[in-house]
Amino acid sequence: MRLLIPKTPLCSMALALCLLLGALIAFPSPSAAETKDALHIAYVNWSSSVAASNLVRAVLQDRLGIPCRLVETTADSMWRMVASGEADAMLSAWLPDTHAAYAAANLDSVDDLGPNLEGARVGLVVPRLTVGRPTTGTGITNRPVVTATSIEDLARYGDEFGRRIVGIDPEAGVMRKARLAIEEYDLQGWRLIRGDEQAMIKELERAVRRREWIVVTGWKPHWMFARWKLDFLDDPKNVFGGYENIHTVARKGLQEDMPEAYAFLNRFHWTADDMEQLMLWNEESGRPYAYENAQRWMRAHPDKVASWLD
């Protein structure tokens, strides 16, 4: 027996509406279901930020059963999003120097949970390459390719460096400091090349391979220090500041809204060696596997993970 439906505009519209409602009931919007009660972490596409954010996401989801979403943005927007409540937390606040300007504008509107990693550093970095083999037959180290040891030396070696500093995204704190360093050290004719971390690393890798002079904006912890012999240039005018810490920052009200997640974020703390291990895994396998590498790191460090959840 066939069901006969009158072919009128009204009946057709009613039938279409019923079918649509039925489909919505049977197949609810995945985006709405996935983001319900999720904790949103703002991060920047830096190796350190990618590593920390994915590790926290893995602990939240795998151990606490709390959905977590990562939101990629820029350094200034990361602070703004947490301060305005658009994001719940960030794990990449470099204090007290690198993100001083962002902290001054937003710190009253957020909860600073303190350092999740201590002993970080930013500045201008050069490779320590040597001419020929690493040592002579007598064991004496050969002459270095790049002889600059201080930011003050850059003016003298402008031709060798091509009068350029290879940087990352323009709103990063290290880029703000680099622009200030060009002024403070009177580096006339020097350019700060904007880009992203991956482009900067490619330039550095090419220069190391060709044994060429290069200076880049760098920070530690970073996997590149494990791969190549690199040194920070001395900074006698202290433009970049000294050693600092990477802080966890949360939005106001998160402690009341998600106390279990907040308690974990408040206890999350690791070392530069811990982070560099995870960053190196991400570099070797590719960042699309950052979450899987974070889960691998959790399996390799069960006691540390347990200490965050105690």
Residue-wise pLDDT tens digits, 107-118:
999 999 999 999
Dihedral, 104, 46, 305, 58 alpha carbons, nearest 10: 110
pLDDT band at residue 17 using 50, 70 and 90 as cut-offs: very low
Return the sign of the alpha-carbon dihedral for residues 271, 274, 276, 278.
negative
What is 122-232's CATH number?
3.40.190.100
> Going along 128-224, which residue ranges are E strands?
164-166, 191-193, 216-220
Q: Is the peptide bond before 259 cis (omega within 30 degrees of 0)?
A: no
pLDDT of residue 226: 81
Cα dihedral across residues 199, 203, 206, 209: positive or negative: negative
- pLDDT for 27 equals 33
Percentage of the chain surpassing pLDDT 70?
84
CB atoms < 10 A from the CB of 16, how many?
Answer: 10
Q: Is 234 a residue whose pLDDT tops 70?
A: yes
CB of 266 within 8 A of CB of 259?
A: no
Q: CA 92 to CA 79: how far, in whole Å?
A: 9
Tell me the two tokens of residue 237.
């005018």
Residue 28 is predicted with a pLDDT of 37
Domains in the chain: boundaries = 36-120+244-309, 122-232
CA pair distance 215, 257, nearest whole angstrom: 46
Count the residues in the chain: 310
What H or E segment, with its residue span, contains residue 121? Answer: strand 110-127
160 backbone dihedrals φ, ψ, rounded to 5°: -65, -40
- With a cut of 80, say whether residue 25 has pLDDT above it: no
Topology given in CATH for the domain delimited by 36-120+244-309 = D-Maltodextrin-Binding Protein; domain 2 (3.40.190)
Q: What pLDDT was estimated at residue 166?
A: 98
pLDDT tens per residue across span 261-289: 999 999 999 999 999 999 999 988 877 89
DSSP string, 63-112: TS---EEEEEE-HHHHHHHHHHTSSSEEEEEEETTTTHHHHHHHGGGEEE
* pLDDT over threshold 50, residue 195: yes
Query: Phi then psi for 29, rounded to 5 degrees?
Result: -60, 120
Does position 188 have pLDDT exceeding 80, yes or no? yes
Percent of the chain having pLDDT more than 90?
75
Region 47-71 average pLDDT:
97
Across residues 17-21, what is the average pLDDT? Answer: 45
Residue 23, sorted as left (phi over 0), alpha (psi -120 to 50) or beta, turns out to be alpha
d(CA 249, CA 252) in angstroms, rounded, equals 10
Q: 72-129, pLDDT tens digit by residue?
A: 999 999 999 999 999 999 999 999 988 999 999 999 999 999 999 999 999 999 999 7
Q: What is the structure's pLDDT at 132?
A: 55
User: Per-residue pLDDT for 43 more than 80?
Assistant: yes
Tell me what percent of the chain is helix, strand and coil, each rounded to the nearest 5: 45, 20, 30
Q: Does the predicted model carry a pTM greater than 0.85?
A: no
| Closest residue by Cα to residue 308 from 220, 245, 248 | 248
Element (H or E) spanning 57, and its range?
A: helix 47-62
* Residue where the block lists tokens 């290290």: 174
The average pLDDT across 21-34 equals 38
